[in-house]
Amino acid sequence: MSSESNAKAYWSATLGLLTKVLVIWFVVSYLAGIIFASALNSIKLGGYPLGFWFAHQGSIYIFIALIFWYAKKIGDIDRKFGMQED
């Protein structure tokens, strides 16, 4: 694989991962926490309405998990394309 095609494949994989992260972020923060909150409030989680939980606590937990997942996946991409840090 040439250096230029390797760089393009690396950039494509990185942008794909970034797109997934941003879609998850949008769904959790905007859709679940704001737009669909009233519909989710009919479901209870720990005694609290699910829409309230997403808006106040759930999104934080999901964002933290998303950070660790992103770090793992970007590390895998770096190793796959020989871009890892030593």
The number of distinct structural domains making up the chain is 1
pLDDT at 1: 59
Question: What are the tens digits of pLDDT across the range 42-62?
Answer: 988 888 888 888 788 878 898
DSSP string of 16-55, one letter each residue: HHHHHHHHHHHIIIIIIIIITHHHHTTSEETTEEHHHHII
Higher pLDDT, 6 or 74: 74
Closest alpha carbon to 33 in 73, 63, 7: 63
DSSP string of 56-80, one letter each residue: IIIHHHHHHHHHHHHHHHHHHHHHH
Give a yes or no: residue 85 inside a domain: no
* 33 and 63 Cβ atoms separated by less than 8 Å: no
Give a yes or no: residue 61 inside a domain: yes
Give a yes or no: residue 86 inside a domain: no
Query: How large a percentage of the chain has pLDDT more than 90?
Result: 42
